[in-house]
Amino acid sequence: MLQGSLHPDFAAVAVSLARIIPRRGPGGAAVCVYHRGEKVVDIWGGTRDAAGNPWEADTLSLSFSTTKGAASTLLHVFADRGHIDYDARVADYWPEFAQNGKDAITVRHLLCHEAGLYAIADVVEHASEMLDWEQMVRRLAAAKPRHPAGAAHGYHALTYGWLVGELVRRVAGLKPISELFATELAAPLGLDGLYCGVPADQQRRCAQLFGRQFSGPIEKRRANTERMIARAQRWRRRLSAEGVRRASAQQNRGGGRVIPLSMGWRLGYHRAFALGARAPTGFGHYGFGGSGAFADPARQLSVALTVNSGVGTPLGDLRIARIGGVAMRCADRRAQELLPARAFA
């Protein structure tokens, strides 16, 4: 049983969502779609925990690497204001970063995964060390890149958050990244549930995670170290049209050193992968466990999916690609139906 609101033109999205919600065992999901500035889909279903409690309108779900897209947008907000230059050296904002041959790495190199800092084993010995922001920042500043800046690209899966996050902090007066998410993105956009570190009084809303990639449900007590994302309540602009154009322009091609297929890296986003539809100008970010979000400027379309049960990596989980493809086809049909009326007018 799905709950929420749905425009009839996008009914197929609801069908697609119903198919990915587990029929046996725990698991739920939520989808939000905007088309031409209108929220046309805001639906959810399934369960949020092992006790079988239903997914609700305000349920939060861990988004993993989908948060890279949100972090990149945060950086673009400051670039749009003139505080960050994409072609400036990272060390111009973060002087300690110049260590070990990194003085030539630019902001652009970081955003399109060309900095050569993708090997997490070069930075930490144990995953628990990643819970200390200051320690991670010091180690990344001292790290030696695997290749010269711009010589190749490789997905910075487990280092990107600190690299981009600390860069933003340096130009924002060293404010905590959780505060910057709240003041620069969530509050201005009217987002209910976008957190980088969930406050204690909101952890009651967090969904547990289930699936073969997890040893069991991740308890709510851990949610304060994890990133959650929910849905927008109203449509607002945070970047200029020129800022969006710069951020979404493709930067490199071909397979990378970490992911062998072409991701079509933009500045902090990858191309919009979809089944049964193409979006040459689309950009976004998908995450481990099945979540994902993207925008398709040509269609004036944006799509986001959150889940709490899944089968694996973004490359092995096609749920956001399926739902995204369905949403694109719905938008195309809607546009075709409007053509005669426009022609007559």
CB within 8 Å of 37: residues ≥ 6 apart = 235, 300
Nearest to 60 by CA among 259, 251, 199, 177: 199
The SS3 of residue 284 is: strand
Q: How many helices (H) and strands (E) does the chain have?
A: 9, 14
C-alpha 69: how far from chain center: 4
3-state secondary structure of 30: strand
The letter for the amino acid at 163 is L
Catalytic residue chosen out of the listed positions 16, 65, 302, 309: 65
State the Cα–Cα distance between residues 235 and 245, nearest whole angstrom: 19
Q: Which residue has the tokens 């239903």?
A: 54
- Is 65 part of the annotated catalytic residue set? yes
Asked whether the beta carbons of 23 and 48 are under 8 A apart, the reply is: no
Task: State how beta strands 309-310 and 210-211 pair.
Answer: parallel
Enter the tokens of residue 329: 């086809």
State how far the Cα of 291 lies from the Cα of 296, in Å rounded to an integer: 17
Contact 237, 315 (CB under 8 A): no
Catalytic positions, written as ranges: 65
